[in-house]
Amino acid sequence: MHELGTIPSVNNSAWTIPLFPVETVLFPHTGLPLRIFEPRYREMVMYCIEQDSPFGVVSIRKGSAIGDPNVEPHEIGTLARVGRMRRQPDGVIHLIALGEERFQIVRLIRDEAPYLKAQVRLWRDSEPFDWEEQQRYADEVAEQFRKFLRLALDISGLRADEIELPRNPTTLSFVIASTLQLEIPLRQYLLELQDTMERLRLLRQMLEHLTHALETEIQPFNPEHWRDYVNRN
C-alpha cells in the first residue's frame, strides 16, 4: 500500500486518499472554486496541506453533499491539490482545487476519519492508434474552440486576439470540456471516457452546434441600438 500523498506511476497500484463529494465535475488541468464550511472537510483540507497530499474530487451519484454520511460518489473522480486558499475568521475556507489526474475508486472507506476516504488507482486514457492523426484532429478541435470563443466574446462586445490552448490532445479535451456549460451527467461521461479521440469528437460536435447557434440565432449587441434590447412592457 502506498502512503497517503504519493501517486503511483502505474494504473493498477492502489493507495488511499480523502474524498470531497461535490455536485459538479472537476476535470484534470483545470481549477474549481470550493467553499469548505463543514468541520470534517475543514479538517480534511488542513490534513492535506500538512501532509502535502492530494484529495479526490468526486461528483455525487446519490445523496447530498452536505452532512450526508451515506453519500454515494461516482466511481471516477479527479485528484486535486489545494491551490490559492483563504480562511475566514469563522473558519470557513475558500480555495481553488487544482485538478491533476483521474482516479477510479477501488473501495470506499467510511469509518477511518470524519470524512469519506477511498482506496483508488489511476484512470488514464488509452494510447491512440495513430499519434499524428490524434494531434492533427486535436489541432482542428482547438481551432474550432477558438472560433467559438471569439464569437461568444464578440456578442458581448469583447475580443481576444490570441487564445492560447494546450497542445496535448488529452489536456486540450479536458480544458474544453471544463469551459463549456454542460450538464453534469455529460461532464461525468466525458471525464470517464478513456479515449481521447472520442472525447475530442464529441466536443467537436458540441462546438459545431454551439457555433452555429451563435452565428445564426444570436445577434451581437450593438450599443447604438440599445433601445431595441429594452422591454417596454
Backbone angles phi, psi at 175, to 5 degrees: -65, -45
Q: What residue ranges of the chain are covered by domains with CATH 2.30.130.40? A: 15-122
**Is 144 in contact with 200 (CB distance < 8 Å)?**
no
Write the pLDDT tens digit of every residue in 92-137.
Answer: 999 999 999 999 999 999 888 888 999 999 999 999 999 999 999 9
- Packing angle between helix 131-155 and helix 169-179, nearest 10 degrees? 30
Q: What is the pLDDT of residue 152?
A: 86
Residue 4 has pLDDT above 50, yes or no: no
Domain ranges in the chain with CATH number 1.20.58.1480: 131-216
- Average pLDDT (132-152) is 95
Between residues 69 and 114, the one the model is more confident about? 114
Find, among 204, 224, 215, the residue nearest to 154 by Cα. Answer: 215
Of 1.20.58.1480, 3.90.1150.10, 3.40.630.30, 1.10.287.1120, the CATH number of 131-216 is 1.20.58.1480
Residue with cell 469528437: 201
Res 160: pLDDT = 75
Residue 66 has pLDDT above 80, yes or no: no
Q: What is the pLDDT of residue 155?
A: 77
The answer on pLDDT for 205 being more than 60 is yes
Q: Where are the alpha helices (DSSP H) in the chain?
A: 39-51, 131-155, 169-179, 184-192, 196-216
- Categorize the per-residue pLDDT at 215 as very low, low, confident or very high, splitting at 50, 70 and 90: confident
- The Cα–Cα gap between 176 and 206 comes to 11
Q: What is the mean pLDDT of the chain?
A: 87
Among 182, 162, 179, which Cα is nearest to 171's? 179
- Yes or no: say if 31 and 83 are a contact pair by the CB < 8 Å rule: yes
Q: What is the pLDDT of residues 154-204, one digit of tens each?
A: 877 777 778 899 999 999 999 999 999 899 999 999 999 999 999 999 999
pLDDT at site 93:
92
Query: What's the pLDDT at 12?
Result: 66
Closest by CA position to 196, among listed 161, 222, 166: 166
Rounded Cα distance, 217 and 8, in Å: 49
Q: Which CATH number fits domain 15-122: 2.40.480.10, 2.30.130.40, 2.40.128.280, 2.40.240.20?
A: 2.30.130.40
Greater confidence (212 vs 167) lies with 167
Grid cell locating 162: 490570441
Quote the CA–CA distance of 142 and 32 in Å, as a whole number. 22
